[in-house]
Amino acid sequence: MEFAHEILPLRQQADIVDGWLKARLDRIIPELMARENMDMWIVACREYNEDPVIMSLLPATSMSARRRTILLFARKADGSVERLTLSRYAYEGFYEAAWNPDEDEDQHACLARLVQERDPKRIGINLSRTFAFGDGLSQTEFQLVSDALGEPYNSRLISAENLCVGWLEQRLSEEITVYARLVEIGHQIIARAFSTAVIHPGITTSDDVVWWMRQTMQDAGLSAWFQPTIDVQAPGRSFQFTENPCVTIQPGDLLHCDMGFHYLGLATDQQQHAYVLRPGESGPPAGLHAALQDANRLQDIHLGEMQVGRTGNEVLRSVLESAKAESIRAQVYTHPLGYHGHAAGPIVGLWDQQDFVPGPGEYPLFDDTVYSIELNILKSVPEWDGQDVRIMLEEDAVLTNGEMRWLDDRQQSLYVIG
């Protein structure tokens, strides 16, 4: 299918991603190291056992950590950050090569010398109980780094978890601008999937639509980061979080999709709904439209509560309290977006944890971050004999300049399949 925005060739994509990386290293790393009061950050891992942050720190042509890569970030007195690499393979233009394996001491001895020369007081390493994104230093790599540094530097090692999360979650203004185009592409795929071009009631199965979505992304050069899903609700058939059987799509069905992809290194995540007309119907039942309006209202409440400095748990509590006051039966399970689909940053609820999420739920919101606003509501539908219908929406939004806004609007009416 054709998109409003051309999917760029790989070489051009790499040029864009590398341009962003250079700008991010120059702008974001010094800011974050100052914010976290970090004098030095060591990122070390081996090929095929990559740290969750390492690939986001390397140029687009890098496919792995290549044997062993050690990156060293050292904050200077003027606030700038020295960026060094200890690796068999250099990353010219991004890092200064600080180790020549053919002439210098071994890799970890070189690391120890560089650390001693700079004598940092606080050294961040990627160990974390809270965030997988900040826990990429394997046991062996930790032991090698620790043995090389010795004292007094081992006693100066601290968790770099917030630095890892901050690096992964913060977006440049250039990235935010392009992110809107990614989300628009996702909306176009959903619109096509929820049409008679793809769905023929009585013939097409939910799995047929799933694989059409997956193939469409693949053919376009987009990489699905999870298997899409199509769920069906109908009179006598309710949604179940833990079940998703393949069914033949029939007139009168309420369809729900969940899909997301990677493009230009960034992930999308979207959920929308469609209704399949029965013979003689000109539109969806009014009860389904009313349910969608409740879900849209919950989205409005949610965006209003997403404020810089609040934790995910604080946002969750406020959203659910406001929804209850308006008699909306709500669940919220919003997550960050970025280099990953379920990305680094604050969690605002989980579908099975609607009171408090320890760890990631206690992390605060920062400016210039992107979220998948994911939620659902239950509402009784008179046309379905009072059966509860679950409307599940997921739209991508950005928190920038202290305000939340949709990256490419949102669904406010059901797709109709005639």
From residue 93, alpha-carbon distances to 53, 100, 284, 350 in Å are 19, 17, 57, 41
At 24, the pLDDT band (50, 70, 90 cuts) reads very high
Say whether both 60 and 203 belong to one domain.
Answer: no
Closest among 157, 146, 159 to 108, alpha carbons compared: 146
Say whether both 114 and 220 belong to one domain.
Answer: no
Q: What is the mean pLDDT of residues 357-368?
A: 97
Say whether both 61 and 178 belong to one domain.
Answer: no
Is the predicted pLDDT of residue 3 greater than 90, yes or no? no
Say whether both 163 and 218 belong to one domain.
Answer: no
> Which pLDDT score, from 0 to 100, does residue 104 have?
85
CATH of the domain at 324: 3.90.230.10
3-state secondary structure of 12: helix
Query: Is residue 411 domain-resident?
Result: yes
Question: For residue 385, with 0-12 CB atoms within 10 Å meaning exposed, 13-18 middle and 19 or more buried, which class applies?
Answer: exposed
Q: What would the pLDDT profile of 120-136 be if each residue is shown by its tens digit?
A: 999 999 999 999 999 99
Query: Is residue 4 domain-resident?
Result: no
Q: What would the pLDDT profile of 370-392 be if each residue is shown by its tens digit?
A: 999 999 999 999 999 999 999 99
- State which H helix or E strand residue 108 sits in: helix 107-118
> Which pLDDT score, from 0 to 100, does residue 241 have?
80
Q: What would the pLDDT profile of 343-355 be if each residue is shown by its tens digit?
A: 999 999 999 999 9
CATH of the domain at 16: 3.40.350.10
Share of the chain above pLDDT 90, in %: 94
At 53, the pLDDT band (50, 70, 90 cuts) reads very high
Q: What would the pLDDT profile of 251-293 be if each residue is shown by its tens digit?
A: 999 999 999 999 999 999 999 999 999 999 999 999 999 999 9
Angle at 130 between CA 124 and CA 133, to 5 degrees: 60
Say whether both 304 and 399 belong to one domain.
Answer: yes
Say whether both 137 and 182 belong to one domain.
Answer: no
3-state secondary structure of 234: strand
Query: Is residue 361 domain-resident?
Result: yes
Say whether both 80 and 225 belong to one domain.
Answer: no
Is the predicted pLDDT of residue 41 greater than 90, yes or no? yes
What sign does the dihedral 364-368-374-375 (CA atoms) show?
A: positive
> Which pLDDT score, from 0 to 100, does residue 379 have?
98
With both helix axes pointing from N to C terminus, report the angle between 173-193 and 206-220 in degrees, rounded to the nearest 10: 140
Please identify, among 167, 183, 210, the residue that sits at the C-terminal boundary of a domain: 167
Q: What is the mean pLDDT of residues 308-326?
A: 98
Say whether both 72 and 176 belong to one domain.
Answer: no
Query: Is residue 257 domain-resident?
Result: yes
Give the chain's mean pLDDT.
97
Please identify, among 167, 182, 215, the residue that sits at the C-terminal boundary of a domain: 167
The boundaries of the domain holding residue 246 are: 172-417
Query: Is residue 75 domain-resident?
Result: yes
> Which pLDDT score, from 0 to 100, does residue 4 have?
76
Query: Is residue 1 domain-resident?
Result: no
- Distance, in Å, from the CA atom of 315 to the CA atom of 303, rounded to the nearest integer, reads 10
> Which pLDDT score, from 0 to 100, does residue 40 have?
98
Query: Is residue 2 domain-resident?
Result: no
Query: Is residue 3 domain-resident?
Result: no
Q: What would the pLDDT profile of 230-247 be if each residue is shown by its tens digit?
A: 999 999 998 888 778 999
Q: How many CB atoms lie within 10 A of CB 77?
A: 5
Say whether both 151 and 195 belong to one domain.
Answer: no
- Distance, in Å, from the CA atom of 245 to the CA atom of 31, rounded to the nearest integer, reads 48
Q: What would the pLDDT profile of 179-219 be if each residue is shown by its tens digit?
A: 999 999 999 999 999 999 999 999 999 999 999 999 999 99
Question: pTM higher than 0.75 for the full model?
Answer: yes
- Distance, in Å, from the CA atom of 303 to the CA atom of 257, rounded to the nearest integer, reads 22
Say whether both 81 and 225 belong to one domain.
Answer: no
Please identify, among 152, 167, 182, the residue that sits at the C-terminal boundary of a domain: 167
- Distance, in Å, from the CA atom of 341 to the CA atom of 180, rounded to the nearest integer, reads 15
> Which pLDDT score, from 0 to 100, does residue 83 have?
98
Total domains in the chain come to 2
- 70-79, 97-106, 290-299, 347-356: the lowest-pLDDT one: 97-106
Say whether both 287 and 398 belong to one domain.
Answer: yes
> Which pLDDT score, from 0 to 100, does residue 1 have?
80
Is the predicted pLDDT of residue 143 greater than 80, yes or no? yes
> Which pLDDT score, from 0 to 100, does residue 225 have?
98
> Which pLDDT score, from 0 to 100, does residue 5 have?
80
Q: What is the mean pLDDT of residues 89-101?
A: 92
Say whether both 373 and 406 belong to one domain.
Answer: yes
